[in-house]
Amino acid sequence: MKHKLLFSSLTIASTMTLTANAATTAVWQGGDGNYFGDANWTVNGTPDQVHAAFSTDAFTSSVSDGILTFSSFTLGSNDTLSLTGTSGLTGNFITSGGTANHFQFSSSAVLTLNNANPLRSGVGFNGNFNWALGTTGTVVHTDLSNSGSHLARKVNQGFFAINGTKVNTVTTYDGTNLTALNTDLKDNHTVDGYYFEITEAGGQQTLSLVAAVPEPSSTALIGLAGLGFILRRRK
Sign of CA dihedral 43, 19, 76, 163: negative
pLDDT for the residue 18: 31
- Coil, strand or helix: which one is 42? strand
Using an 8 Å Cβ cutoff, are 60 and 28 in contact?
no
Q: What's the rounded Cα separation, in Å, for the pair 75 and 103?
A: 8
Q: Where are the domains of the chain?
A: 2-234
**Going along the chain, which residue ranges are E strands?**
24-28, 33-34, 41-43, 46-49, 59-63, 67-69, 72-75, 80-83, 88-91, 93-96, 103-105, 110-113, 119-121, 129-131, 138-141, 160-162, 165-166, 194-201, 204-211
Q: What's the rounded Cα separation, in Å, for the pair 89 and 80?
A: 15
Q: Diameter of the chain by CA atoms?
A: 88
pLDDT tens over the chain, length 235 residues: 544 444 444 343 333 333 334 789 999 999 999 999 999 999 999 999 999 999 777 999 999 999 999 999 999 888 999 999 999 999 999 998 878 888 999 999 999 999 999 999 867 788 899 999 999 999 999 999 999 999 999 998 889 999 999 999 999 999 999 999 999 999 999 999 999 999 999 999 999 999 998 766 544 445 555 555 555 555 5
Give percent helix, percent strand, percent coil of the chain, each to the nearest 5.
Answer: 25, 35, 40
Angle CA 150–152–192, to nearest 5: 140
